[in-house]
Amino acid sequence: MKSKKIPFLKRTILVGLLSLCSPAMGEDGLYPILDEQIPHYSPQSRVSGKVEIVGSTTMKTILETWKDKLEKVHPDLEMSLETGGSNSGVESLMSGKTNIAAMSRPMNNQEIEEFTKQVGYAPTSVPVAVDAFAI
């Protein structure tokens, strides 16, 4: 009978080594250095209304952070988030349910063509993060 301790030990060592290779959590390793010449944001006028963002579950944390910070700066702004996946973002964008589709992938050619045909202009893509996986 083969011992199961060896595979478990190997996995434990591998996880430990991988954690040493990854950056430490916190301000020092995960955020880019900002240009000191960029002025601090201060709203020039009050923004009010509703903004609904639908899309990627991968982006949930960053979306919640944006929502919290924007609502503090613009208290008359009401934001709602629905994170059901990138496909739900595209579907909501196409149906007019949302103006912003949070996606953890680029739109494919068929989605771009369908959106353009439906609304009369191409969608605007604004990359906000890089998704990375380690195996």
CATH number at residue 83: 3.40.190.10
Quick one: pLDDT band at residue 109, thresholds 50, 70, 90?
A: very high
Q: What CA–CA distance (Å, rounded) separates 80 from 121?
A: 25
Summarize pLDDT for 10-60 with one digit per residue, the tens.
555 555 545 444 444 445 555 667 778 888 878 788 888 898 999 999 889
In a domain, 98, yes or no: yes
Two tokens at 59? 């982006």
Is the pTM higher than 0.75? no
In a domain, 72, yes or no: yes
Least confident of 14-18, 86-90, 102-106: 14-18
What pLDDT sits at residue 13? 55
In a domain, 97, yes or no: yes
- What percentage of residues in the chain have a pLDDT greater than 90? 16
Least confident of 44-48, 68-72, 109-113: 44-48
What pLDDT sits at residue 82? 92
In a domain, 127, yes or no: no
The residue among 21 and 119 whose pLDDT is bigger is 119
Structural domain harbouring 81: 49-119
In a domain, 80, yes or no: yes
In a domain, 103, yes or no: yes
Residues 6+ apart with CB under 8 A from 90: 55, 101, 103, 107, 111, 115
The residue among 130 and 26 whose pLDDT is bigger is 130
Q: How many domains does the structure of the chain reveal?
A: 1
In a domain, 129, yes or no: no
